[in-house]
Amino acid sequence: MADRTSGTAVCPGSYDPVTLGHIDIITRTAVVFDKVVVGVVDQPVRKQKTLFTAEQRVAFIEGELEGLDNVTVKSFHNLLVEFARENGARTIVKGLRAISDFEYEFEMNQLNRKMAPDIESTYLMAAPQYSFLSSSGVKELAMFGGDLTGLVPPQVASRLKEALER
Ligand code: PNS
C-alpha cells in the first residue's frame, strides 16, 4: 500500500495571466497540503500562443504569494504527470468553475490517469465571485479598456493594459 501523506500538490495551468480566481485556488491548496508547486505551462496548449512569456507568468504569481511560504512556482514543458513526479507530488489540484470546465477536465483526468494511475487529480470548486472568471475573459476586457478591479492583481492589470495597448 502506498504511503498516506498530504505531501506535495501541483497546481498546473497556463496562467496567462494569473487571475484572483487562480490565487484563491493556490491559497486554498496551500492550506490542505504541506507543499504546493505551481506549474506554469511553458508550451502552447489548446493551440493558443500565450500573451506573456513563462518567466513573466511565473513572476506575476510569485508577486502574489506573500505569506505562503510552502508554495513555489516553476515553469514546465513536459507532461504534467512527469512534472508532478519530478516534484514528488502525488496529487494534482485544479479549480473547477461553471459546468463548461467539466468536459475538458474530465478528458485531461482520464489521459493523466492512464499515463500515471498513481497520481490523483482533485478539484476545488471556484469561489462564487470567481465562477465566471477566466484569463481569456480578462484579456478580452483589457483589450477594450474594461475595469479589471477584483479580477486580477493590480500589477497584472497594468501589465495587461501595457501589453494589449501595444
Ligand atoms: O487550463 P489550462 O491552464 O490551459 O491547463 C493547462 C494544463 C497543463 C493544466 C492542461 O493542459 C492539462 O491538464 N494537461 C494534461 C496533459 C499534459 O500533460 N499536457 C502537456 C502540458 S506541457
Q: How far is CA 38 from CA 25, 145, 164, in A?
A: 11, 29, 25
Q: Whose CA is nearest to atom 2 of ligand 1?
A: 13
pLDDT mean across residues, the chain: 93
Distance 154 CA to ligand 1 centre (A): 26
Work out which ligand 1 atom sits closest to the CA atom of 76.
22
pLDDT in tens, 16-67: 999 999 999 999 999 999 999 999 999 877 767 999 999 999 999 999 998 8
Q: What pLDDT does 3 receive?
A: 52
Pocket (CB within 6 angstroms of ligand 1): 12-14, 41, 43, 45-46, 77, 79-80, 108, 111-112
Q: What pLDDT does 4 receive?
A: 53
pLDDT at residue 118 greater than cutoff 90: yes
Q: At 5, is the pLDDT very low, low, confident or very high (cuts 50, 70, 90)?
A: low
Sheet holding 8-13, edge to edge: 71-76, 35-41, 8-13, 89-96, 120-125
For the entire predicted model, the pTM comes to: 0.94
pLDDT at residue 1 greater than cutoff 60: no
Q: What pLDDT does 50 receive?
A: 94
Residue 39 grid cell: 506549474
pLDDT in tens, 61-97: 999 998 899 999 999 999 999 999 999 999 999 999 9
Whether the Cβ atoms of residue 12 and residue 42 lie closer than 8 Å to each other: no
